[in-house]
Amino acid sequence: MTTCEDPSGYRPEEEKEFMDILEERRRSSDLGHALRTFTPSPYKGAPPLSAGALNRKVLESQYLRYITKEVAMETGESVDLVREEASGILEEMSQNLQLGFIRLLGFTLSKVFKRLFSHINVNQEGLNRLQQAIQESPVILMPNHRSYVDFLVLSYILFTYDLPIPVIAAGIPLMDMKMVGEILRRSGAFFIRRAIGSDKLYWAVLSEYVKTIVRTGYAPVEFYVEGLRSRTLKSLTPKLGMMHMVLEPFFKGEVYDIKLVPISISYDRVLEESLLAHELLGVPKPRETTMGLLKARRVLEEDYGSMHVYFGMPLSVRQLTKGRVDRCEYNLLPRDLPQRPSVETQECVSWLAQQVIRVQEQNSILSPWSLMACLVLQGHQNRDPGEEQEKGLSWELLTQKTLRLKGLAISFGARLDWPEQLPENQVMASSMALHRSVIRCHRGRVTLLEEEEGPVGAGPFTTEEGVVRRARAVLMVAAYRNQALHVFIRPAMLALAVHTTQGSRREDIYSSFRFLLDLFSNDFIFITGRSSQDFEEACSLLRKCGAVQTSQQEVTSPEEGQSTTSFLRALLQPFIDAYQVVFSHLCVEDVAVFTERQMVPAVRSLATKLLLSGELKSYEALSSDTQKNVLSALLRLGAVTRLRTAEHGEFRANKPAIRRLADTLAGRLPVQTAPNPRL
């Protein structure tokens, strides 16, 4: 693998901008920290409001009065009864933020975090920017979502630095946990049902509650733009419902500006790593209960390394939407009446969400293990099924490749948590020790722990069970590789486009690049309308490294760049394999009309057979999230259609279209149709 000499993406001063908030906690009293004077500076225009007064403001709003009358007319119920129902929804949903519970949570989390993490590093400049933004405008905190710990650590940081505690959108299962739900409610959480569907009244109460918080500047609002916790540790396609709610007060001119604050939370090791892998393999997620939380106390005995929390530059909605949205359309109706956003507004909100996710990715901090995981998985997938001692990578080779990859990642603009004062071997050995549940170094060779032996007394397991055990280890390691994919994904797609395109014409390679962006845009987040810039960025990065040569007419890959382009293509190979397995399943004769619930286990069964026969080497093809992303891509590309009249979410496969996609992805067929114009 070639390396790049230009470290323009790496800024050593970034190491100094992080502060470890646990350092002070280890030196002083946790009780004193919890009981100290807490005097945050709120939004300058915010009137003093209690949680009860906020709820009354919501219920008395003209908007909710209008909706309750509409619902009463549609259902035949009395207006008073519908208003009572709305009040019940609000009571179930609303937070009841109380400083006493914040202090209790602060004391408890100090104890817990010191047990779990060696460091929680926060960028001081980001906190200073946030403090200023909170005083100037309503603020929306938008962290990525990788662990249940995310929202706890954010509130803990804001409490520690005398910043207003946010109100946090949380899933309703957390509310049902005895005692825990009430503690979270009094710590600022408001609870949202997962399946709202077409419940008009619920949507109205929720949206008016959120918009009232934003309009009044009651508190910063915190929510996950991805909607769900990422089980693969890479960014998810944004969910736009909450985005529309928080931005509507700006579009309607009810606030001058809104600041979106992207927050990047990076873990050396995620608490739920084993649970996430099992969920991807079809094991149902356990229900959130207080008893389950108590049983999970054993996690306190484990070491989860460091956490980095990077508060990004606040993004002004006013500046970002200038020239993109004509807010005059909102003057055509009274502000209190419901108004469906225009296509232009919907596209703008989607674009803003993509921007936030891109900033989250750019500000994330990669651990040495994320780089090592890229190489360990490639060694695992390409290993020769020969002697036991030949499995895995030699420690020496892994070290050499990791250090070269470190240089490549830095040149691509990655932010790394690599202690330069320590010997490189020590840094890598420490990273492996942290992940000893899935990796080991035996006789100088690094291999995955594939759970090839079951528990004592459990008896032998079937070959299919063996596949699942190996897949669990692969998916756990793949999650950490995924944390680094945003750094390499555009150059990787260019490397693949150069490899699969017949000839070297720049125009043809760009068409292939756009095809890959479009096909994989459910697995990786790309900003709408930026495919040309993404292509030029990828060309620039690979050109600097000597991996490609470009002119106005051609893009070629010289011999000396083959190791880099080969590595980058290998990063995409597990996804290519997973897509091809789904394509193969949907092209089988007896698959015509199907549901997602039928497709996922059927694809998993096919992948298992192919793995056992040796025709498939990538265990990531068993991931249910990837399989669902393939279905979403096929729907978007028109190769699968949703049957509108079906009751159970049925789909119909267009087999010729799917075969064309499979052949194009494999390079057997040139890109024949214009890629999606939204790119």
Average pLDDT over residues 578-601: 93
Model confidence pLDDT, tens digit, residues 124-135: 999 999 999 999
Number of H helices, E strands in the chain: 27, 19
Angle at 19 between CA 16 and CA 25, to 5 degrees: 150
More confident residue, 173 or 204: 204
274-313 confidence digits (pLDDT tens): 888 988 998 766 555 544 544 456 677 789 999 999 999 9
CB of 438 closer than 8 Å to CB of 473: yes
Does the structure show a pLDDT above 60 at 4?
no
Torsion of CA 225, 228, 232, 238, to 10 degrees: -30
- How distant is the alpha carbon of residue 271 from its chain centre? 16
Q: Where are the domains of the chain?
A: 18-360, 366-381+391-452+460-542
Q: Give the end-to-end CA distance of the chain in Å, rounded to a whole number.
A: 31
Question: Which pLDDT score is estimated for 291?
Answer: 45
Residue 173: pLDDT above 80? no
pLDDT, tens only, 439-469: 998 888 999 987 544 443 444 567 888 898 8
- Residues paired with 440 in a beta bridge: 447
Quick one: pLDDT at residue 296? 55
Per-residue tokens: 611: 């793995």
- Measured between alpha carbons, how far is 292 from 212 in angstroms, rounded to an integer? 35
- As a whole number of angstroms, the distance between CA 22 and CA 394 comes to 37
Give dist(CA 444, CA 393) in Å, integer: 8
Rounded to an integer, the average pLDDT of 429-435 is 94
% of the chain surpassing 70 pLDDT = 89
pLDDT tens string 500-523: 998 999 999 999 999 999 999 999
Q: What is the pLDDT of residues 18-30, one digit of tens each?
A: 999 999 999 999 9
- Between the alpha carbon of residue 253 and those of residues 215, 314, 318, 339, 356, the distances in Å are 10, 20, 11, 14, 22
- In the predicted model, what is the mean pLDDT of residues 460-487? 89
DSSP characters for 273-325? HHHHHHHHTTPPPPPP-HHHHHHGGGGGGS---EEEEEEPPPEEHHHHTTTT-
Share of the chain above pLDDT 90, in %: 73
pLDDT digit string, tens, across residues 321-334 = 998 887 777 766 67
pLDDT at 332: 64
